[in-house]
């Protein structure tokens, strides 16, 4: 158990989020303290990806629906009003989650915690509150782009 | 002859990014959502290159690659594998699979093209070929009237395509003294922001050149246009004959 507590999850998550947002969305995000208040109320979208092996865990990325649409428009090279369906937004969030999860998984594997990644899932709702129990470690990191916030939750435990 | 590039990824977003990267080049883009579709298209079309995602439902990229390699007519098709995982073990496994190259997501389109150019020779698309290929899809001249028929749905790429031809068509109208333009919306099944913007643009360009323009569409489309402030005052005819009579 001490192994996963030694992992610098903040560094893992910050590097991967910065890289993904910069490369795919041309957005320069910055890591902030807190950030939950930025997406506490209203319509939200959460992308989730799991991993299992020597370590098990989940990575959730929460954003407001508006920010998700902005991210989709940037990724697809269009205006937000030109987004044709929610399916496009879900696909973008799912793919971003896949990239962030994939990079975190790679870093875990390189640290000796081999695992495999699940296919991402995306949920939309209002006033979402996500709680997950039974993990050895839970961390939440906020990121800001202009007036928008993204929260990344990482749950992790070693396999029995 | 255009290169055939097959992109196989369950993410429509990634497929769009890959297609967009190849847009400036003389390529025919094919796409599949999973390994089974990818194999079927590969067998039928014999692409010159495959850009293949690893993690997909139904059949993974790994499985598809194994089947490609076991098929004599497909085994030599170069494959660039896409992966979200940059770890050493993952990269080693990919290389052992016998792929030509790999890309770790996230990636920019230009980075993908750099890798592709090491494998196949990409030729820039000739602009004239693009014009000849696509303008006839929408534009026609009949009885001294320029027609532009919209498809069922105007997406941003279609809007860009039509706008790309419009200037040339208006120049042709001026030089051949065609002064009437019919915008045919009868096939339109969905109004959206792209359609409204394009309608306004076309009307503006015609008015600037003193070209008379009539819109033709169904009563439903007429009602939809009236619900947008920008197009609420634009009259709409319900048939081509009506539009001709109203010039």
Q: Which of A98, A115, A116 to mutate to test the interface with B (most CBs of B within 10 A)?
A: A98
Architecture of the CATH domain A2-158: 3-Layer(aba) Sandwich (3.40)
Residues B85 and B145 in one domain: no
B121 within domain boundaries:
no
Taking the domains of chain A in order of start, what are their residue ranges?
2-158
Q: Which of residues 69-108 of A touch B (CB under 8 A)?
A: 75-79, 81-82, 84, 87-88, 91-92, 94-95, 98-99, 101-103, 105-107
Chain A residues with beta carbon closer than 8 angstroms to that of B93: none
Claim to verify: residue B90 and residue B182 sit in the same structural domain: no
What is the residue-averaged pLDDT of chain B? 90
Partner residue opposite A119 with nearest CB, options B55, B87, B89: B55
User: Same structural domain for residues B146 and B109?
Assistant: no
Which tokens is B240 given? Answer: 């081509």
- Closest residue on chain B to A118 (Cα): B55
Question: Is B122 within a domain?
Answer: no
Pick from A84, A91, A94: CB nearest B155: A84
Structure tokens at B18: 């890959």
Say whether residue B86 is in contact with chain A using an 8 A CB cutoff.
Answer: yes
Do residue B137 and residue B36 come from a single domain? Answer: no
B202 phi/psi in degrees, rounded to 5: -65, -45
| CB-based contact B16 A76, cutoff 8 Å | yes
Same domain, B107 and B201: no
Q: Measure the CA angle with vertex B102, ends B99 and B104; round to 5°.
A: 150
Residue A119 pLDDT grade (very low, low, confident, very high; cuts 50, 70, 90): confident
> Taking CB atoms and an 8 Å cutoff, what residues of chain B touch A105?
85, 87
What is the end-to-end Cα distance of chain A in Å, rounded? 10
B95 and B163 co-located in one domain: no
Q: Model ipTM?
A: 0.83
In order of B114, B119, B135, B156, B158, the CA distances from B126 in angstroms are: 20, 21, 15, 22, 19
CB contact under 8 A, A102 and B17: no
**Interface contact flag, A99 B16, Cβ < 8 Å:** no
The number of folded domains in chain B is 2
- Whether residue B110 sits in one domain with residue B31: yes
Kindly write down the DSSP assignment for every residue of B11-69, as one continuous string: -HHHHHHHHHHHTTBSEEEEEESSHHHHHHHHHHH--SEEEEES--SSS-HHHHHHHHH
Q: Which residue has the higher pLDDT, B17 or A78?
A: B17
Most confident of A87-91, B49-53, B203-207: B49-53
For residue range B176-224, list pLDDT tens digits in order. Answer: 999 999 999 999 988 888 888 899 999 999 998 999 999 999 998 888 8
Average pLDDT over residues A30-47: 82
Q: Do B105 and A98 touch (CB under 8 A)?
A: yes
Query: What is the CATH number for B17?
Result: 3.40.50.2300
Judged against a pLDDT cut of 70, whether residue A135 lies above it is answered with: yes
- Minimal Cβ distance to B86: which of A75, A84, A106: A106
Q: Which of A24, A95, A105 is the closest to B85 by Cβ?
A: A105
pLDDT exceeds 50 at position A82: yes
Contact A138, A56 (CB under 8 A): no
CA dist B160 and B135 (Å) reads 12
Please tell me whether residues B212 and B132 are part of one structural domain. Answer: yes
CB contact under 8 A, B89 and A109: yes
Whether residue B76 sits in one domain with residue B10: yes
- Chain A contact set for B83 (CB, 8 A): 102
Global confidence as pTM = 0.69
pLDDT above 80 for B129? no
Structural domain boundaries, residue B22 = 3-116
Binned at pLDDT 50, 70 and 90, residue A93 comes out as very high
Q: How would residue A52 be classed by pLDDT, with cut points 50, 70 and 90?
A: very high
Residue B152 domain-assigned?
yes
Closest-CA distance, B35 to chain A, in angstroms, reads 15
DSSP secondary structure string for all residues of A18-81: HHHHHHHH----EEES--GGGGSSSEEEEEEEEEEESEEEEEEEEEEHHHHHHHHHHHHTS-GG
- Interchain CB distance below 8 Å, A109 and B90: yes
Q: Verify that B99 and B159 share a domain, yes or no.
A: no
Query: A74, A84, A90: which to substitute to probe chain B, counting the most B Cβ within 10 Å?
Result: A84
Residues B135, B189, single domain; the answer is yes
Residues B141 and B52 grouped into a single domain: no
């Amino acid at each position: 158990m001490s192994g996963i507590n030694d992992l610098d999850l903040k560094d893992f998550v910050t590097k991967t989020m910065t890289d993904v947002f910069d490369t795919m969305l041309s957005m320069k995000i910055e890591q902030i303290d807190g950030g939950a208040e930025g997406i506490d109320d209203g319509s939200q979208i959460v992308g989730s990806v799991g991993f299992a092996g020597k370590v098990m865990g989940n990575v959730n990325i929460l954003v407001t629906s508006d920010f998700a649409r902005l991210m989709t428009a940037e990724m697809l090279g269009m205006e937000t009003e030109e987004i044709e369906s929610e399916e496009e937004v879900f696909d973008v969030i799912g793919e971003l989650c896949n990239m962030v999860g994939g990079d975190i998984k790679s870093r875990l594997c390189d640290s000796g915690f081999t695992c495999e990644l699940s296919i991402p899932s995306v949920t939309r709702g209002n006033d979402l509150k996500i709680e997950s129990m039974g993990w050895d470690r839970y961390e939440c990191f906020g990121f800001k782009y202009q007036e928008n916030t993204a929260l990344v939750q990482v749950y992790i435990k070693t396999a029995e | 002859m255009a290169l055939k590039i097959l992109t196989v990824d369950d993410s429509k977003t990634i497929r769009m990014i890959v297609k967009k990267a190849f847009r400036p080049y003389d390529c025919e883009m094919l796409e599949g959502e999973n390994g089974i579709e990818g194999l079927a298209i590969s067998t039928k079309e014999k692409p010159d290159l495959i850009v293949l995602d690893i993690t997909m439902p139904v059949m993974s990229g790994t499985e598809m690659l194994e089947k490609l390699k076991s098929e004599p007519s497909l085994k030599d098709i170069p494959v660039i594998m896409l992966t979200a995982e940059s770890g050493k073990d993952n990269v080693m496994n990919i290389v052992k699979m016998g792929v030509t190259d790999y890309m770790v997501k996230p990636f920019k389109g230009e980075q993908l093209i750099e890798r592709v150019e090491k494998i196949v020779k990409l030729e820039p698309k000739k602009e004239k070929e693009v014009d000849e290929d696509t303008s006839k899809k929408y534009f026609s001249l009949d009885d001294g009237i320029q027609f532009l028929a919209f498809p069922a749905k105007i997406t941003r790429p279609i809007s860009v395509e039509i706008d790309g031809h419009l200037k040339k068509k208006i120049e042709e109208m001026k030089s051949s003294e065609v002064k009437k333009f019919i915008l045919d919306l009868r096939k339109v099944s969905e109004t959206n922001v792209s359609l409204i913007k394009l309608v306004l643009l076309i009307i503006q360009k015609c008015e600037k050149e003193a070209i008379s323009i009539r819109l033709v569409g169904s009563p439903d489309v007429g009602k939809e246009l009236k619900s947008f402030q920008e197009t609420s005052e634009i009259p709409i005819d319900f048939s081509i004959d009506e539009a001709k009579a109203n010039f």
